[in-house]
Amino acid sequence: MQPSRSSTRQSTPESRQLRRVALSGLLGTAVEFYDFLVYGTVAALVFGDLFFPGADPAVGTIAAFGTFAAGYVARPLGGIVFGHFGDRLGRKSMMLLTMVLMGCGSFLIGLLPTYDAIGVWAPVLLVTLRVVQGVAIGGEWGGATLMVVEHAERTQGSRRGLWSSSTQLGAPLGAVLSAGVVTLVSGLPDEQFRSWGWRVPFLLSLLLLAVGMFVRLKVAESPLFERAAERGERAPSGRPPILEVLRRPGPVLRAACVGIGAFTAQSLLTGFMISYAVGHGYSRPQVLTAVTVASAVALFVLPAASALSDRVGRRPVVLAGAIASAALAFPVLALVDSGSPGLLILALALGHGVAQSTMYGPLGALLTEMFGTRVRYTGASLGYQAATLVGAGFSPLVATSLVASSGGSGTPVSLLLCGGAAITALTVWRLRETRGDALEAPTPRTVASGV
């Protein structure tokens, strides 16, 4: 009996390499989101007291989230730096470097002395490590996503969205892991959690780093980059790729605006929601359980949305997610304010697990398709990281300030969710569909509709 064409295709070296690249991307973004979400969770619980003592509790939380934002401020710089060398030298070497910097930065945070031990140097070192993490993560997503999509182009071109979801899945996977680990250590007596328990999730990031590096070292360079280099179409050595991208800034600006809704929802419904819900009477385990369940829901919704975008297009799927996020913004906060742990789980499952994941799933394929091979690393990374800066970096800080000034009302949070979703929806409405575009065009693409 002759083997089927599909089974033959699955056994080819290219298909095996694609699966390895997809696993590498998944592990890389899982490390990324584990590190950042562990920080956001612990910052909401204890960093205000440990690194910014003597302040009003609300002010301490704002300061802790300000440090959280510092990592996001550094992300666009990382996108530019690693994108520059990734477009010139290749994707793989940059992926290895970003993963090492991310994992080591998180591990060192777990070793930091607190304010009581070294005074003002404690928050200074914390901010420094956050910036190092931010620079590394700024280059991680672009390299991991491009490797998957560019490898998939050869054998799975019509399923780029589904394969790119492997890197997007790192977000909920990292959230599940971080929430699970923090849930375990937060069950310790308060004194033990504040003295050493909070360090454990950061120190464990070294295990994720080891596994990720083991897989990533076995990954081959992007075939599209290699072919572009052979044809002399990679970024020229005499001119930084960022200049070529910014010479026509439209795609980068649109890429940033497309992602703002997803990152605003992600940040507000994970890290910020922990401090908000605890302040409204929920216990830490109850809130962390809700975040874990919502992230588990996302593990199913995210690849489903990405696969759907391969069939109906990127635009309608992202637009549907943005509309759902805006429609659920006020109901989600009403469910959280109810005081019921069951309704809290439902709220985060709907807002984060379903609506946010629908927006976020196709993002990797969409942003990759907006740029040509010679500047794709720089362009996609810069657009993505600018979206994280605006959507995720500042929204917890703004939300904490607004909630404090409004007497604890969740209305400002709902308005921020609606605002982010509206930016995404309006931008996607103006884009043309990119699902069927070939990836080997050397120059940035024009993606506004009607242009």
Where do the domains of the chain lie, and which CATH numbers do they carry?
17-218+240-430 (1.20.1250.20)
What residues contact 229, with CB distance under 8 A and at least 6 apart? 90
Q: Quick one: tokens of 275? A: 């401090």
Q: pLDDT of 416-442, one tens digit each?
A: 999 999 999 999 999 989 888 777 654
Rounded Cα gap, residues 304 and 320, in angstroms = 13
DSSP letter for each residue of 299-337: HHHHHHHHHHHHHH-HHHHHHHHHHHHHHHHHHHHHHHH
The amino acid at 78: G
Q: How many CB atoms lie within 10 A of CB 229?
A: 18
Q: What is the pTM of this model?
A: 0.79
Rounded Cα gap, residues 444 and 98, in angstroms = 25
Rounded Cα gap, residues 84 and 91, in angstroms = 10
Closest listed residue to residue 99, CA positions, set 71, 138, 48, 150: 138
Q: Is pLDDT larger for residue 447 or for residue 266? A: 266
DSSP letter for each residue of 390-423: IIIISHHHHHHHHHHHTTS-SHHHHHHHHHHHHH
Rounded Cα gap, residues 177 and 155, in angstroms = 32
Q: End-to-end distance of the chain based on CA atoms, in angstroms?
A: 52
Q: pLDDT of 135-156, one tens digit each?
A: 888 888 888 888 888 887 766 5
Q: Is pLDDT larger for residue 61 or for residue 43? A: 43
